[in-house]
Amino acid sequence: MTTVTLISTTIDNIIRRGNEVKVCQEHVKLIITALTRLQHGFDDLVTSLDKNHSQEDLAQILKAIDEVVISCSEDESCVNGMTYRDLKSVLLRLHFRLTQYEANITNGYETRVQLFSDACEKQQLLLQRSYDEMMRQRLEAIEQSTKTNIKEQLHLLHEKYLKTIESYLHTCIELHKSEIPAGLTGDIIAKVIHNFYQISYKERMTLEYEWQSYKLPLTRTFIQLKPDKSTSFERNELRRLLMEHEANMLHNNCSTKESSKGIWKQLLSAPYMMSMVETDCHSEEDNLSMENIIKSKRWIVILGDPQCGKTSFVRWLVHHLAQTLLNGQHSTGYGPLRIPILIRISEFAEILKEQPSLTLFDYIGIHKWMGKSIVDDSLLSSNNISCALQDYIKQGQALIILDGLDEISLSDQRSKIINVVENFVQTYVPTPTDVSVFDNIYLNKLLDDPSRLEGNQLIVTSRIVGYHAAPLGGQFAHYTIQPMNMEKIRDG
């Protein structure tokens, strides 16, 4: 009985010291909880101790726990030469030994299983919290080391390319301030106006003529997004099917029409197409704002049906960012400011036919928008703007937008464009810790936050069907534009 009294006193002392420990508090608390449970059932424990003659086993476990807790209390900075990681590991092993001992003296198989199950669950939750905290600290350390660099780099780049960048930003504003109304021809508008106001024939002809040169101001676009249901595995499998199909087409000399028919039959028969077919199945929880997506994701793919607002949105975004940069601000609702670079994939594809070795990086600066120059200044050459924009990319201060990835008619050229884009992203759009879109998805999530860290960002737009026939590889975040919601527009 003396041994039992000693054990009870030791447990009291461990609990008292454990509550005062500042090192590995959650791990020590796990052991304190187990010891408290033992104390509450101490009457049964005494019987078990006497019956099983296991006082010595428990005494050894408690002695080991007591030594660790005392060492934590006496020297928190050293802990007898152990690292905090080693100490946490020791505490978890001691907690498991304590649970194992309790199970050995407990009657009932189900009760024993429950004890082990609860202990494992608590340890797993603790390990996850510890890991999350470690990742948070690493992210904060990265943020602190790069926070001042962002403003300094932007300032240095702006000073170095002052005239060139200002001219480029002014041109961005001019190019993307308005758009031609899609699908609204002059005769349609004239008919609608005539039905309401009974205008004369001459007035109708005048309206039709003037409407040809009319452009709508490109104000903020209201689009609502939902996460795309297709997985990385499904997209990669679809890409594999496409590559196999292209190889078969070359081997069998099929016509383009027969080729297209064959690939779509193959795609639709694939079992992993279901989540892609069911694009309209979503819940309210799927609704996401564009601001939050751009702030939290580095590699983004925006999918949508024709005329749903993909190009209008990215054009407005370029206009918005250019205007904000010229105003001297450092951030917007979309996160830290990066210089916007908008490229039409179809125009890049045309140049690529003439220059097959051209990379996407080399194309930046000589690119146009709808055939129009991106710098409206005769004193500036394309080489000037190329050097400036490419330097912004090298310094991780750019938002690159690739519009219309699906707008490439030939499948072999589409595959080449995909490879060119992926090579560009691999080289120029990593995280600040050099994690790429093709690396571990969990590293991407844990060690990257574009709203807090520097580094380039990438947005790709595409129609839904055309994209799934030749998707990008890697861990891009995919979102689909939802149908127009007037209530959301009014709220916005």
Shared-domain flag, residues 173 and 185? no
Cβ atoms within 10 Å of 263's Cβ, excluding its own: 21
Report, in angstroms and rounded to the nearest whole number, the Rg of the chain calculated over CA atoms. 32
Does residue 363 contact residue 343 with C-beta atoms inside 8 Å?
Answer: yes
- Give the domain range for residue 249: 232-278
Q: What is the pLDDT of residue 351?
A: 93
First to last CA, the chain: 74
Identify whether residues 60 and 87 lie together within a single domain: yes
Residue 18 corresponds to which tokens in the numbers above?
Answer: 């454990």
Domain assignment present for 55: yes
Q: Is residue 118 part of a domain?
A: no
pLDDT band at 408, cuts 50/70/90? Answer: confident
CB atoms within 10 A of CB 283: 7
pLDDT of residue 148: 66
Residues 304 and 445 in one domain: yes
Percent of the residues in the chain that have a pLDDT greater than 70, as a whole number: 75
Using pLDDT thresholds of 50, 70 and 90, give the confidence band for residue 244: low
pLDDT at residue number 284: 43
Question: Same structural domain for residues 242 and 331?
Answer: no
Question: For 413-422, what is each residue's pLDDT tens digit?
Answer: 888 899 999 9
> What is the DSSP track for 305-349?
-TTSSHHHHHHHHHHHHHHHHHTT-SEETTEE--EEEEEEHHHHH
Residue 116 lies in a domain: no
In a domain, 143, yes or no: no
Say how many residues make up the chain: 492
Considering the domain architecture, whether residues 166 and 263 belong to the same structural domain is answered as: no
**Whether residue 332 sits in one domain with residue 187:** no
Q: What is the pLDDT of residue 423?
A: 95
Query: pLDDT tens digits for 342-362?
Result: 999 999 999 999 999 999 999
For 295-343, what is each residue's pLDDT tens digit? 889 999 999 988 888 999 999 999 999 999 999 887 788 888 899 999 9
Mean pLDDT, rounded, for 53-79:
74
Residues 301 and 433 in one domain: yes
The Cα–Cα gap between 418 and 354 comes to 18
Q: Amino acid identity, residue 360?
A: L
Q: Distance between alpha carbon 446 and the CA centroid of its chain, in Å? A: 10
In a domain, 317, yes or no: yes
Tens-place pLDDT, residues 375-397: 877 777 778 899 999 999 999 99
Is there a contact between 389 and 343 (Cβ–Cβ < 8 Å)?
no
In a domain, 120, yes or no: no
Is the CA virtual torsion 426, 427, 429, 430 positive or negative?
positive
| pLDDT number for residue 249 | 60
pLDDT of residue 170: 94
Q: Say yes or no: 308 and 430 in one domain.
A: yes
123 lies in some domain: no
Claim to verify: residue 207 and residue 246 sit in the same structural domain: no
Say whether both 165 and 192 belong to one domain: no
Q: How many domains does the chain have?
A: 4
Return the H-helix or E-strand segment holding 245.
Answer: helix 232-252
Judgement on whether residues 202 and 239 belong to the same structural domain of the protein:
no
DSSP for residue 476: P
**What integer pLDDT is reported at residue 367 of this predicted model?**
94
What mean pLDDT value characterizes the chain? Answer: 79
Q: What is residue 105's predicted lDDT score, i.e. its pLDDT?
A: 81
Query: Are 288 and 268 contained in the same domain?
Result: no
